[in-house]
């Protein structure tokens, strides 16, 4: 038995970023669900609900969904229409191929004033004499029944026949109730025999909710048995490097490309016709010295290069107009040319060599002074120091004030 869980609804609500409180539409079809629950508590804003192709036997726990406009319950085990009066906004109800045999239960939809479209095709009640006229007369708000538009003439004729049809429908409902009771008793009586019978698909049985559940369980066991017996063969792993260590060419995305050399014979250029409107984030480029690998939406385009290239100086650009991807890869060895491509480290070494060397103007032990000391610089430095000394001015002595009296008895200031 499959239950409606919070994780299941969040998984089905990816279009709403997994939010349940603001969820307006959810699809829970073909999940083998047997009971409707929690939706009226977790998803109060629901407008559209898909529950077709499950094993639901009762309509319940949806009466609080005031904004619900459409509910699809086709291909389930529902036998009675109920618990929908609280769905004030309900506009369309699909109960195709269920087991509703009591036609008078459509009266429970009278409170759904906005109900305009109803599907009961494939239910036992659709075989009742006067079925269409009875439903049209019972639900005056309907505009379509089983996909057929209801005209004013249809409604007038149905109302004229209602008194006579309603009595006949009441009798047919009682007959079906008795028939259904016998089906349940017969199923309970023959269940042990059916469980022991291995020829399930060869014996005949009535189409009932019980037989549908039994068929589903039998199919489920068969699939489980087959899955344990026959394990799927592992997919072969694609080889991108040969046994001899050389890269192999492959074009999994099946895109057009063109590889050529530049006019000055310094670069290897690869032009790939990437899909114009595809996001660049879905493209990954890996340049190796002897081959290039481009991954496009998980599929690999790998090509062996005619010459060894410099991976650090390779550049990849994409055209904004055509969407083409162009990779420009400089060659390591350039033929018939004295031009060489310098790496960053080589350039740094050259700049260091160009820096002016500074010689020490001081004497060092164990060395010839003539090789380390530049005497001309010493002379220039001495002349410079002498000029600086000549320019230094001694501070002037402060003059005495007018009222100054030189008294010899006063000791001098220290």
Q: Is 167 helix (H, G, I), strand (E, B) or coil?
A: helix
Domain shared by 109 and 30, yes or no? yes
Which residues have C-beta within 8 Å of that of residue 330, sequence separation ≥ 6? 266, 267, 309, 310, 313, 314, 341
Radius of gyration of the chain, Cα coordinates, nearest whole angstrom:
47
DSSP string, 336-403: T-S--PPPHHHHHHHHHHHSPPPPP-S--TTS-HHHH--HHHHHHHHHHHHHHHHH--PPPPPPPPTT
Residue 271 β-bridge partners: 258, 326
Domain shared by 161 and 17, yes or no? yes
Domain shared by 86 and 173, yes or no? yes
Domain shared by 164 and 258, yes or no? no
Domain shared by 47 and 160, yes or no? yes
Q: How far is CA 203 from the centre of its chain?
A: 46
- Closest by alpha carbon to 33, among 65, 76, 94? 76
pLDDT at 390: 53
Structure-block tokens of residue 332: 């390591």
Residue 205 lies in a domain: no
284: domain CATH number is: 2.60.40.790
370/57 Cα distance (integer angstroms):
111
Residue 49 lies in a domain: yes
CA terminus-to-terminus distance, the chain:
111
pLDDT at 337: 45
Domain end point (choices 330, 364, 387): 330
Say which residue the tokens 């009971």 belong to: 35
Residue 64 lies in a domain: yes
pLDDT at 158: 95
Domain shared by 128 and 256, yes or no? no
DSSP state of 411: P
Domain shared by 30 and 153, yes or no? yes
Please answer whether residues 48 and 25 qualify as being in contact, where contact means their C-beta atoms are separated by less than 8 angstroms: yes
Residue 55 lies in a domain: yes
Please answer whether residues 213 and 77 qualify as being in contact, where contact means their C-beta atoms are separated by less than 8 angstroms: yes
Domain shared by 15 and 155, yes or no? yes
pLDDT at 338: 47
pLDDT at 340: 46
Residue 39 lies in a domain: yes
Domain shared by 264 and 166, yes or no? no
DSSP string, 44-66: TT--EEE--SS---S--S-TT-T
Domain end point (choices 161, 179, 197): 179
Please answer whether residues 287 and 301 qualify as being in contact, where contact means their C-beta atoms are separated by less than 8 angstroms: no
pLDDT at 164: 92
pLDDT at 379: 56
Range of the domain at 270: 250-330
Please answer whether residues 26 and 50 qualify as being in contact, where contact means their C-beta atoms are separated by less than 8 angstroms: yes
Residue 365 lies in a domain: no
Residue 142 lies in a domain: yes
Residue 225 lies in a domain: no
Domain shared by 172 and 256, yes or no? no
Q: Rounded to 5 degrees, what are φ and ψ at 103?
A: -70, -30
80: domain CATH number is: 3.80.10.10
Domain shared by 255 and 175, yes or no? no
Per-residue pLDDT of the chain in tens (414 residues, 90 and over written 9): 788 999 999 999 988 888 999 999 999 999 999 999 999 999 999 999 999 999 999 999 999 999 999 999 999 999 999 999 999 999 999 999 999 999 999 999 999 999 999 999 999 999 999 999 999 999 999 999 999 999 999 999 999 999 999 999 999 999 999 999 999 998 888 888 777 767 766 777 778 898 888 888 888 888 887 776 666 666 666 777 887 878 888 898 898 999 998 888 889 999 999 888 888 888 999 999 999 999 988 889 999 998 899 998 999 998 888 888 999 999 987 754 444 445 445 555 555 555 554 455 454 555 555 555 555 555 555 555 655 555 555 555 666 666 667 777 767 665
Quote the number of domains for the chain.
2
Angle between helices 152-196 and 209-229 (to 10 degrees): 50
pLDDT at 44: 93
Domain end point (choices 299, 330, 361): 330
pLDDT at 34: 93
Domain shared by 170 and 52, yes or no? yes
């Amino acid at each position: 038995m499959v239950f409606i869980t919070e994780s299941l609804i969040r998984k089905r609500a990816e279009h709403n970023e997994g939010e349940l409180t603001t969820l307006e539409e959810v699809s829970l079809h073909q999940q083998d669900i047997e009971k409707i629950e929690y939706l009226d508590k977790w998803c109060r804003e629901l407008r559209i609900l898909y529950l077709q192709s499950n094993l639901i036997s009762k309509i319940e726990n949806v009466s609080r969904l005031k904004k619900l406009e459409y509910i699809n319950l086709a291909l389930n085990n529902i036998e009675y229409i109920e618990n929908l009066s609280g769905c004030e906004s309900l506009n369309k109800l699909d109960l195709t191929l269920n087991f509703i045999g009591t036609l008078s239960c459509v009266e429970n939809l009278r409170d759904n004033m906005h109900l305009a479209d109803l599907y009961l095709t494939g239910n036992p009640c659709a075989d009742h004499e006067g079925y269409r006229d009875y439903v049209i007369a019972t639900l005056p708000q309907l505009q379509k029944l089983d996909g057929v538009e209801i005209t004013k003439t249809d409604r007038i004729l149905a109302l004229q026949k209602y008194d006579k049809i309603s009595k006949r429908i009441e009798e047919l409902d009682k007959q079906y109730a008795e028939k259904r009771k016998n089906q349940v008793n017969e199923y309970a009586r023959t269940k042990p025999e059916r469980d022991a019978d291995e020829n399930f698909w060869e014996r005949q049985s009535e189409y009932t909710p019980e037989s549908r559940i039994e068929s589903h369980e039998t199919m489920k066991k068969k699939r489980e048995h087959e899955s344990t017996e026959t394990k799927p063969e592992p997919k072969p792993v694609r080889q991108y490097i040969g046994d001899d260590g050389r890269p192999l060419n492959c074009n999994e995305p099946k895109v057009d490309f063109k590889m050529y050399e530049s006019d000055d014979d310094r670069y290897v250029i690869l032009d790939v016709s990437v899909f114009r409107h595809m996001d660049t984030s879905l493209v990954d480029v890996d340049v190796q010295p002897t081959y290039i690998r481009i991954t496009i939406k998980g599929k690999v385009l790998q090509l062996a290069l005619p010459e060894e290239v410099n991976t650090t100086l390779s550049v990849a650009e994409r055209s904004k107009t055509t969407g083409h991807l162009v990779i420009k890869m400089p060659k390591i060895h350039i033929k018939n040319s004295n031009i060489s491509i310098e790496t960053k480290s080589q350039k740094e070494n050259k700049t260091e060599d160009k820096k002016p060397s500074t010689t020490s103007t001081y004497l060092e032990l164990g060395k010839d002074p003539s090789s380390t000391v530049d005497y001309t610089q010493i002379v220039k430095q001495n002349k410079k120091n002498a000029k600086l000394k000549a320019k230094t001015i001694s501070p002037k002595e402060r003059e005495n004030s007018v009222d100054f009296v030189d008294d010899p008895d006063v000791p001098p200031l220290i």
